[in-house]
């Protein structure tokens, strides 16, 4: 079955510290991979995506993620966290190919708290 697992429900880091949010997926074929962020009361904002090619992808707000096929992982990282990064983060997978843009499967989300 297709699934996405974010093992950490809640993470607290100090401002200025580095961050890594974990994401593991189970998918029959090579998927498209995404990280989204959601602030309270808001919709989802796309941070970055992986389709093919270089396995280290850069996104907005200083985030990056690395695709590791052997580990079925797509972990999100940021070298120095800012207080404004406090939010909920979602990893998602979707099928490659036209006509499949709507079928994203999301992880349960990781809530990030930033300590001053």
Partner 1 sequence: KAGVTQTPRYLIKTRGQQVTLSCSPISGHRSVSWYQQTPGQGLQFLFEYFSETQRNKGNFPGRFSGRQFSNSRSEMNVSTLELGDSALYLCASSPPLGGLGSDEQYFGPGTRLTVT
- Residues near partner 1 (CB under 8 A) are 32, 34, 36, 41-46, 49, 51, 90, 92, 94, 96, 98-109
Residue 91 CB, nearest approach to partner 1 (Å): 11
Of 34 and 74, nearer to partner 1 (C-beta) is 34
Residue 16 CB, nearest approach to partner 1 (Å): 29
**What SS3 string covers the chain?**
CCEEECCCCEEEEECCCCEEECCEEECCCCCEEEEEEECCCCCEEEEEEECCCCCEEECHHHCEEEEEHHHCEEEEEECCCCHHHCEEEEEEEECCCCCCCCCCEECCCEEEEEEC
Residue 17 CB, nearest approach to partner 1 (Å): 27
Of 50 and 114, nearer to partner 1 (C-beta) is 50
Of 81 and 90, nearer to partner 1 (C-beta) is 90
């Amino acid at each position: 079955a297709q699934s996405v697992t974010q093992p950490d429900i809640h993470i607290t880091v100090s401002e200025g510290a580095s961050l890594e949010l974990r994401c593991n997926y189970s998918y029959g074929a090579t998927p498209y991979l995404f990280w989204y962020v959601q602030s309270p009361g808001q919709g989802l904002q796309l941070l970055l995506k992986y389709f093919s090619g270089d396995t280290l992808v850069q996104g907005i707000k200083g985030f990056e993620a690395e695709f590791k096929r052997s580990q079925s992982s797509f972990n999100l990282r940021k070298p120095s966290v800012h207080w404004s990064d406090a939010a909920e983060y979602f990893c998602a997978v979707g099928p490659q190919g036209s006509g499949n843009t709507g079928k994203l499967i999301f992880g349960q989300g990781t809530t990030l708290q930033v300590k001053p």
